[in-house]
């Protein structure tokens, strides 16, 4: 009897079923489909073996029963092909479309099944060679080959939308089947097709359906890959979920000594294990994601975890680690905040980086409000990139007045983005986003280059301008290449470096301060001078002025305004001015809006005045006009 192959296949499938059943599955649709394929294949092999046995023992069974059994086997063969097709499409087309497809194709499949069952079948039995042939078999082979080809077609057509491992596994399965069907067609005695189905299941199991591969070995929770699949499945099926992402991977946790991390992670794993009603995922080294069916469950779990961290934990841990242990949380309430699973994964990535960069933000609710903000940010980011591409980045100049020479000796260069409709986007809307994404480096270079171009082309020195101030972002100062890049640009435009004054703001980090200082020294050696911008905006530190090689200090608009509103502020500004000038530095007051303010600050001895009283930031042409008129008239007044 030629059933050894089928028996082997059956044993393998039963073993796979055994291992499969031993593990927890997360409940994905593909898991259901895989189980369906596995059962169908087992039934197919059992019927295959049974048909050979019945044919060999025809004497004991009525002929119609043997033929009916053989046809049942053929039907199960077709069913296996059909299940494989549905399994392949579930990934490529999503659940909803596959359900529609199953409904539509189900009728066709049933019709083909009835046809196979009604068509005649012939049985060949000669010694140990046994096989069936005739119209019913031909119909089965044709439909099976068609199913295989359609499956291959879909995996080719929609292959990019599929999990690449699934695509590969399905292709291998289908190819094995086609080859075995071809061999069986040429040599009817070799009954390969049922066994080939079993081989396909083996490939699927080891490539992607082994539940063991979905489990994180250390914790026994589902792993990150399974989380991605799970979210995709939930979005496809339209089911709402709530989740908590809990991470220790932030600035606080970085202070924890490495040898304590293992202990802490063990404790946190136990804590997560105790959270009721949750599907647990270990989504990164120090990160867990818990999925719930309702917001109430999520809130209960959040309170439970947070309480543990807030109180008992810190007391317990005091002996182990001296730092406070503050994880960060992303809470995703149910509801359609994201359009797709990919978008949701993008939100998680984005808000995670937000928490890592801002340690004080340790709970972020990913709800409609925060998502709307993120979307606005994305729109702005795209607008910045497009503006850079289309060269719609412009530089405006705000004149700066010298109280000593009574002339406009300088200007601050301020970036603007012009929208396609001609309107202007102010820097307050895009600079923070450009800084967050690092785009500020390119944007800053572009502004600097435009200013240099302006200086060489329009020679503002002929109208009395002595230097131009240009803002440097903290992010730019972090780049070691800054000094080289800026001096290269000055070389390119043959700029006298004394014409350039770069504005820096205070920066907190010591690591960064070193790079900033290196950059500053290199540029000062080249001939450039520096200003300290935004002095008095809350984070000012007098030591900073002493430490940093700046030539000018710029009083923030708030500080200037406060001078006219409170006596205390008046003393502070006065004392600061004395100290700064005592150090041999110059002072600029920003945000001067009235003649009285100008007079008072002049009386105080402030060196330079910048503000709307003289002019708002204006385009280069208007700035030159301004200089021609104002500096000429000031000269006449002298």
The item of Mg ion, ligand C2E, none sharing an interface with residue 611, based on CB under 5 to 8 Å by kind, is ligand C2E
Instruction: State the minimum distance, in angstroms, from the CB of residue 295 to ligand C2E.
Output: 40
Q: Name the binder of 415 from Mg ion, ligand C2E, none, CB < 5-8 A by kind.
A: ligand C2E
Q: What are 155's two structure tokens? A: 């995996």
d(CA 608, CA 587): 6
> Cα–Cα distance between 221 and 227 in angstroms, integer?
10
* Closest to 250 in 3D by CA, of 334, 309, 319: 309
159, interface contact from Mg ion, ligand C2E, none, CB < 5-8 Å by kind: none
3-state secondary structure (DSSP) of residue 607: coil
Q: How many CB atoms lie within 10 A of CB 45?
A: 28
| Among the listed residues 287, 534, 607, 620, the single contact to Mg ion using CB under 5 A | 534
218-233 as b/e, with b when 16 or more CB fall inside 10 Å? ebebbbebbbbbbbbb
DSSP state of 496: -
Minimum distance from residue 398 beta carbon to ligand C2E (Å): 6
Where along the sequence are the contacts to ligand C2E (CB under 6 A)?
398, 414-415, 426-428, 431, 440, 444, 447, 471, 473, 503, 533-534, 557, 590-593, 610-612, 617
Sites for Mg ion among residues 496-515 (CB under 5 A): 503
Quick one: 194 or 617, whose CB is closer to ligand C2E? 617
Task: Name the residue nearer to ligand C2E (CB basis): 557 or 586.
Answer: 557
Partner from Mg ion, ligand C2E, none contacting 247, C-beta within 5 to 8 A by type: none
- Taking the least distance from each CB to Mg ion, the nearer of 143 and 398 is 398
Nearer to Mg ion, 113 or 536 (CB): 536
Reported as half-sphere exposure (CB side, CA atoms, 13 A), residue 19 has a value of 13
How far apart are alpha carbons 578 and 557 in whole angstroms?
19
Q: How far is the CB of 493 from ligand C2E (least distance, A)?
A: 17
Query: Three-state DSSP class for 216?
Result: coil
Q: Which does 593 bind (CB under 5 to 8 A by kind): ligand C2E, Mg ion, none?
A: ligand C2E
Stretch (H or E) spanning 610:
strand 608-610
Of 176 and 576, CB closest to Mg ion = 576
| Binding partner at 209 among ligand C2E, Mg ion, none, C-beta below 5 to 8 Å by kind | none
| Shortest spacing between CB 427 and ligand C2E, in angstroms | 4
Neighbours of 44 (CB within 10 A): 29
CB of 414 to Mg ion, least distance (A): 7
Q: Which of 506, 533, 607, 620 binds Mg ion (CB under 5 A)?
A: 533
Exposure of 616 in the CB half-sphere (CA atoms within 13 A): 5
Edge-to-edge order in the sheet of strand 279-284:
222-223, 279-284, 287-292, 242-247, 328-332, 363-365
Of the candidates 283, 312, 278, 311, the one whose C-alpha atom is nearest the C-alpha of residue 296 is: 278
Task: Closer to ligand C2E by CB, 78 or 427: give it.
Answer: 427
- Beta strands of 419-564 (E only): which ranges? 424-425, 467-471, 500-504, 529-535, 552-555
Q: What's the min distance (Å) between Cβ of 559 and Mg ion?
A: 10
Size of the site for Mg ion (CB under 5 A): 4
Kindly state the DSSP code that residue 215 receives in the 8-state scheme: B
Indicate the residue among 135 and 591 with the shorter CB distance to ligand C2E: 591
* CB nearer to Mg ion: pick between 84 and 552: 552
- Asked if residue 607 binds Mg ion (CB under 5 A), the reply is no
Tell me if residue 564 falls in helix, strand or coil: coil
Minimum distance from CB of 600 to ligand C2E (Å)?
15
Shortest distance, position 602 Cβ to ligand C2E, whole Å: 16
398's contact among ligand C2E, Mg ion, none, with CB below 5 to 8 A by partner kind, is: ligand C2E
Task: Name which of 593, 614, 619, 623 is nearest 424 in CA terms.
Answer: 619
Q: From the list ligand C2E, Mg ion, none, pick the one residue 206 interacts with, judged by a Cβ distance below 5 to 8 Å according to partner type.
A: none
Q: Which does 414 bind (CB under 5 to 8 A by kind): ligand C2E, Mg ion, none?
A: ligand C2E
Q: Report d(CA 68, CA 50) in Å as an integer.
A: 12
Minimum CB distance to Mg ion smaller for 155 or for 540: 540
Q: If binding is defined by CB under 5 A, does position 471 make contact with Mg ion?
A: yes
State whether the Cα torsion 520-523-524-525 is positive or negative: positive
* Partner in contact with 428, chosen from Mg ion, ligand C2E, none, beta carbon below 5 to 8 Å by kind: ligand C2E
* Residue (48 or 534) nearer to ligand C2E, CB: 534
Comparing CB distances to ligand C2E, the nearer of 136 and 519 is 519
> Which of 343, 412, 409 is CA-nearest to residue 371?
343
Q: Distance from CA of residue 376 to its chain's centroid?
A: 16
Q: Which residue has the tokens 């809470």?
A: 331
Q: Which helix (H) or strand (E) holds 34?
A: helix 29-56
Q: What's the closest the beta carbon of residue 607 comes to Mg ion, in angstroms?
A: 15
In whole angstroms, the minimum distance from the beta carbon of 416 to ligand C2E comes to 8
Q: How far is the CB of 428 from Mg ion (least distance, A)?
A: 12
**8 A C-beta contact, residue 180 and residue 195:** yes
Binding-site ranges for Mg ion (CB under 5 A): 471, 503, 533-534
């Amino acid at each position: 009897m030629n059933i050894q192959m089928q028996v082997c296949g059956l044993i393998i499938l039963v073993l796979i079923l055994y291992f499969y059943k031993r593990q927890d599955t997360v409940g994905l649709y593909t898991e259901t489909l895989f189980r369906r394929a596995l059962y169908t294949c087992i039934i197919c092999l059992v019927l295959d073996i049974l048909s050979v046995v019945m044919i060999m023992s025809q004497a004991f069974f009525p002929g119609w029963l043997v033929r009916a059994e053989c046809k049942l086997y053929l039907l199960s063969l077709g069913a296996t092909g059909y299940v494989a097709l549905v399994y392949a499409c579930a990934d490529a087309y999503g659940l909803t479309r596959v359900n529609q497809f199953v409904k539509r194709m189900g009728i066709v499949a049933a019709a083909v099944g009835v046809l196979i069952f009604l068509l005649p079948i012939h049985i060949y039995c000669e010694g140990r060679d046994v096989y069936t042939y005739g119209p019913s078999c031909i119909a089965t082979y044709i439909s099976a080959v068609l199913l295989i080809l359609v499956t291959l077609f879909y995996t080719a057509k929609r292959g990019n939308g599929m999990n690449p491992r699934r695509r590969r596994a399905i292709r291998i399965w289908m190819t094995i089947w086609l080859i075995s069907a071809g061999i069986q067609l040429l040599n009817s005695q070799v009954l390969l097709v049922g066994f080939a189905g079993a081989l396909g299941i083996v490939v699927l199991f080891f490539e992607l359906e082994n539940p063991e591969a979905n489990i994180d070995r250390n914790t026994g929770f589902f792993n990150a890959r399974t989380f991605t699949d799970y979210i995709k499945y939930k979005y496809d099926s339209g089911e709402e979920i709530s989740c908590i992402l809990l991470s220790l991977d932030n600035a606080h946790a970085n202070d924890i000594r490495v040898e304590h991390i293992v202990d802490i992670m063990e404790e946190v794993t136990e804590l997560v294990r105790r959270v009721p009603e949750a599907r647990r995922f270990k989504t990164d080294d120090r990160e867990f994601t818990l999925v719930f069916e309702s917001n109430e469950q999520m809130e209960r779990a959040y309170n439970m975890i947070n309480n543990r961290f807030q109180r008992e934990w810190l007391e317990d841990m005091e002996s182990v680690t001296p730092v406070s242990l503050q994880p960060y949380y992303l809470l995703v309430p149910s509801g359609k905040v994201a359009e797709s699973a990919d978008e949701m994964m993008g939100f998680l990535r984005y808000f995670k980086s937000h928490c890592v960069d801002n340690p004080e933000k340790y709970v972020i609710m990913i709800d409609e409000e925060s998502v709307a903000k993120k979307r606005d940010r994305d729109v702005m980011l795209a607008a910045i990139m497009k503006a850079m591409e289309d060269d719609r980045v412009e530089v405006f100049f705000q004149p700066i007045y010298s109280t000593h020479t009574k002339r406009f000796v300088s200007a601050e260069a301020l970036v603007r983005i012009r929208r396609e409709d001609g309107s202007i986007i102010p820097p307050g809307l895009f600079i923070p986003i450009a800084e967050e994404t690092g785009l500020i480096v390119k944007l800053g270079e572009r502004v600097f280059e435009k200013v240099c171009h302006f200086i060489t082309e329009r020679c503002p020195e002929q109208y009395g301008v002595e230097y131009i101030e240009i803002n440097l972002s903290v992010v730019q100062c972090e780049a070691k290449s800054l000094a080289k890049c800026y001096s290269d640009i000055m070389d390119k435009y043959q700029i006298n470096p004394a014409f350039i004054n770069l504005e820096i703001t205070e920066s907190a980090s010591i690591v960064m301060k070193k790079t900033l200082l290196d950059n500053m020294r290199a540029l000062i050696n080249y001939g450039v001078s520096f200003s300290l911008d935004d002095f008095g905006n809350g984070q000012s530190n007098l030591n900073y002025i002493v430490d940093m090689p700046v030539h000018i200090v710029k009083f923030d608009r708030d500080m200037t305004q406060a001078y006219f509103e409170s006596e205390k502020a008046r003393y502070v500004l006065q004392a600061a001015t004395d100290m700064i000038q005592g150090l041999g530095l110059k002072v600029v007051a920003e945000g001067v809006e009235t003649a009285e303010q100008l007079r008072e600050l002049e009386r105080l001895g402030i060196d330079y005045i910048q503000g709307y009283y003289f002019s708002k930031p204006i385009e280069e042409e208007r700035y030159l006009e301004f200089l021609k008129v104002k500096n000429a008239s000031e000269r006449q007044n002298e």
